[in-house]
Amino acid sequence: MMKYQYLAVIFVIIMLPISLVFSAYISAQLDTLDLQISYDTKLDNTTYDAIKAFQLNTVNSSTSDLTNSKIRDIEAAANSFFTSLATNFNMAGYNSDILQEYVPALVFTLYDGFYIYSPFENTLDEETRSRLPANATYTGGEEVTGLKPYIYYSCRYVKGNIDVTITYSLDNYITVQGTDKNGNGINDAGYLIDDVTYNSGTGQVTYRGITIEPETQLREYVGPTSYAYIKINGVKYYLDDRDSTNQRWFTITNGKMSYVATPFRSEDNDMGYRYYKEAYEFKQRLNDYGILDLRSANAVSPEGTALTPVTDIDGNVIYDFTGTNGQDKIFDFSDNGGTSHIEERDSNFNDHRLAVIRYVVETNLSVALANYNNYGTGTYEFRMPKLGEEDWSRILNNVSLISFLQGLSIGGKIYNGYSVINNNKNEEVVTEDSIYIVEDVTVPDTSNSTYHRVTHEGLQNMVNETTSKGVFNIDFERKSLGSTSSETTLYYFPKRDLGCYTCFVAQTNVVGGYDNVYDYLDSISSTANGRILAKIYYTALGRERYSMYKVFRNPEEHVNQFR
């Protein structure tokens, strides 16, 4: 009996320390996990604050599409990120300067390219330095943190005489530069749209069997007054017709009204009509260039080498430029044997577009994070984390901010986190979900109309071809107007219509079961009311996309077309 007691004592002596150590280990791991979740939440909140700041700045700036203004807005968003990060981590004992050392990069993905905000070496040469003011503080070789040059979503293609660089965007707009099949120079751009017909004799344009026509002028509020307006290359011009004998046009530039010297045409708005007509003509030119024969295997790096496959987080190949996807025609319009319209998400073009954008972003971001180790003062080696497929889906389909936070100790390990936050209401891109349908734009202020998603069930029975309009979702956001006589700021809503509760909040009255909005509208276009809704939507989508700022355009020549 005594032997058993001895054994029990020995067992307790051996197991008690092990249990204590194991318990302490489990407790430490739980603390580490809690801290990691807390840091993930703080990083998400900080990233949201920064992208929200970018949205507010661009909504209230009519010059946000111009390069200098865009850089200003992004730098302000970056400052907002670090301020918010310091606030969120204040209880952890970190301030803004310390935390900046643990943020290897911020990536702002925009319409046709992206900016990386990270440390870099200022390569200011002596010749340039000699032209700066005497009190300038910049020096060559200095390590600074800021925006690196803009990187386009571009890819080079070589096939025979064809040697072109194609720049993609977050929708179906491309820019083509290089030489065509005959060795002639190309410098062209446009939207890729299938199933468009154009009769040069009558000028009639149809899309998916729906006739697209100019629409009556749109109206919206500037302060308390409603004005007719036209949007040209990202800028809205308003017609001040309060004095019938002295009608003038004006713009809102950073919250200030300014009248323009040359008037614009006041007839119907034909932006949507131009969108489809010019897309039809662009397709014909691409065919003449030989671009429509390009395949994925023709894509090469700027140096002419083959592109490496795009893989997911587990290393599985998603898109192989020279392998299984290599023989896919990139610009495969349905009348060339394709199974899907080129502007739809499951087309060969869209698969290739997304693969190119992902390749460019991932390649440049990996270099930026690797180079950060040259500027860091600690011993932690910063590495490119593996982004999940849901994260890439958000990055590739809208304006977004990707933030990285690495190197902080969270007990049992080193924190390595990232956050991806979208901005689905911005002046950069018009997605298929960006167009809302207003039931009646003629209702008085005392009885505002309602706006819906286009997939609102039964919406085709609630719209009218004359009084219903498609509206860009950003136009429902609050804007500001500065007073010329005082320092006060007036806040107003350009559109005073009310959002549909079941569309945007409850989401109980939205039609599902369709891969995209095109399939849904095709399904209801067999009825007269369905065709009316499709026409309203397609006209608005074309109008807003055509009206967006495009770098390729000559702004002065483009604006003069409407004067």
Per-position DSSP letters for 229-294, written without gaps between them: EEEETTEEEEEE-SSTTS-EEEEEETTEEEE-SS----S-B-HHHHHHHHHHHHHHHHHHHTGGG-
CA 73, chain centre distance (Å) = 15
Maximal C-alpha separation, the chain: 117
CA 226, chain centre distance (Å) = 30
Bridge partners, residue 300, by sequence: 156, 306
Q: How do residues 205-236 score in pLDDT, each as one tens digit? A: 999 999 999 998 889 999 889 999 999 988 89
* Residue position matching structure tokens 């179906």: 172
Q: How do residues 375-387 score in pLDDT, each as one tens digit? A: 655 566 777 788 8
Amino acid at the residue 225: T
Average predicted confidence (pLDDT) for the chain: 85
Percent of the residues in the chain that have a pLDDT greater than 90, as a whole number = 46
* Residue position matching structure tokens 């430490």: 28
Q: How do residues 135-182 score in pLDDT, each as one tens digit? A: 666 666 667 778 888 999 999 999 999 999 999 999 999 999 999 999
The predicted structure's pLDDT at residue 272:
95
